Amino acid sequence: MPGETCNVALIGSKFMGRAHSNAYLKVAKFFDLPVAPVMHTVAARNAEDVAAFAKRWGWQNASTDWRATATSDEIDLVDVVTPNNVHCEHTLAALEAGKHVACEKPLAATLDDARQMVAAAKNAKGKSFVWYNYRRCPAVALAHQICKDGKLGRIYQIRGCYLQDWAGPDTPLMWRFQGEVAGSGALGDLCAHTIDTARFITGDEVSEVVGATMETVIKERVILEGGGGEISGRGAQTAQKTGASTVDDIVLFVAKMQSGALATFEATRLSTGYKNSNRIEIHGEKGAIRFNFERMNELDWYDATLPENLQGWSTINVTNGNANHPYAGAWWPVAHVLGYEHSFINETADILSVIGGQDPVVPLPDFADAYEVQRVLAAVTASSEQHTPIPLSEIQ
């Protein structure tokens, strides 16, 4: 890698492209990094759109040739933010060219693709990273540290849910509703985050999906003809005809962890009234934590080791750099709160730290780590289809 800079190529320019571009723009302003990102090239399909995107977000070059971009000798890090079914193709080309690769979650649309990506990363010159950005919320990172320090003791129960309401019957048939592109619906889009968060905080792994159910509630959606302004496709041009939605709208499952703890997970994009309620509770013998992304600067903590007359839930405002709250020291004074975009900036700082030979604030998921989530997704799908428990030992 030349000097103290890291030339970045972004493959994709939609919702996640904006979030990642903002992170590269801001990260060196707030973090002292061993290498600084250079926003070298963004690649996407439409020449006019990608040129406008590059100008708006500060990329030096725009291209419609993703392969030439990802394999260019001038690029050090390739960031893949395309739909799930092309993650494999894009990342394999970049890894074979010796690049570091950061890939959006879930790792792939299928277990087979994910398996190829893990094998390629294992033998690659460059490092691999996956954008499970909620690990970089200071409250979630603190929960990880609390659990690692043994303050929860033995874990009894995990309860996770991710609830959104944007995918009602008026939402058009975007790629997120096409199984051959997305791989799954609420399961891979939302529940993958919750599974990763549970694994990250506890250090535990799912050993069995005890039972699962997945339902496609809205089976037909209007055909999309033009891009919309939001993740939901609001304002998009649509056709009069409809097409089949081939992914799950709602998923529920029960799991057993390797430690013996039991876990419940649910995800949906049809939970009327919830906009982005990414929640997790972890209950142990010594204490408990709970987190809701809609209040992302807070972590609720219950200390069961206190005298009984003092026990009760307390809320930690996780913005105090002087108290060593994760990432908080890079940002604002206490209680000058962070938002969604800061999770990506924090992750970008950790990625660049690792590329520069330093440790991240908390562990980063690489392809092998993210593959464990992919295995759980496959087990949930199999359990729902077969109406039977699926041990993770059967999913390799």
What's the confidence (pLDDT) of residue 3? 55
In the chain, where the domains are located: 5-131, 154-284+373-383
pLDDT over threshold 50, residue 199: yes
What's the confidence (pLDDT) of residue 224? 81
What's the confidence (pLDDT) of residue 240? 79
CA-CA distance, 290 to 311, in Å (whole number)? 15
Reported pTM: 0.95
Residues contacting residue 55 through CB under 8 Å, at least 6 positions apart = none
pLDDT in tens, 160-192: 999 999 999 999 999 999 999 999 999 999 999
Residues contacting residue 29 through CB under 8 Å, at least 6 positions apart = none
What's the confidence (pLDDT) of residue 225? 75
Do 5-131 and 154-284+373-383 share a fold?
Answer: no
Beta strand 206-215 pairing with 390-391: antiparallel
What's the confidence (pLDDT) of residue 229? 54
pLDDT in tens, 76-128: 999 999 999 999 999 999 999 999 999 999 999 999 999 999 999 999 999 99
User: Distances from the Cα of 219 to the Cαs of 37, 135, 146, 377, in angstroms?
Assistant: 43, 33, 43, 21
Instruction: Give one DSSP letter per residue of 161-188, joined into a string.
Output: EEE----STTS-B-GGG-HHHHS-SHII
Structure token digits, residue 147: 């659990």
Helices (H), 273-394: 340-355, 367-386
Answer whether CATH 3.90.950.10 is correct for domain 5-131: no
Helices (H), 31-104: 47-57, 66-71, 87-96
For the ranges 18-22, 173-177, 270-274, 383-387, the lowest mean pLDDT is seen at: 173-177
Asked if 213 and 233 touch (Cβ cutoff 8 Å), the reply is no
pLDDT over threshold 50, residue 71: yes
Residues facing residue 267 across a β-bridge: 162, 251
Q: Find the helix or strand (DSSP H, E) in which 302 lies.
A: strand 298-303
Residues contacting residue 384 through CB under 8 Å, at least 6 positions apart = 212, 213, 214, 251, 253
CA-CA distance, 58 to 381, in Å (whole number)? 41
Q: Find the helix or strand (DSSP H, E) in which 211 lies.
A: strand 206-215
Instruction: State whether residue 300 is helix, strand or coil.
Output: strand
pLDDT over threshold 60, residue 264: yes
Residues contacting residue 151 through CB under 8 Å, at least 6 positions apart = 286, 287, 303
Neighbours of 326 (CB within 10 A): 22
Q: Find the helix or strand (DSSP H, E) in which 141 lies.
A: helix 138-148
Q: What is the CATH number of domain 154-284+373-383?
A: 3.30.360.10
What's the confidence (pLDDT) of residue 217? 97
pLDDT over threshold 60, residue 2: no
Structure token digits, residue 43: 């690649």
Strands (E), 44-172: 61-63, 77-80, 100-104, 128-131, 155-163
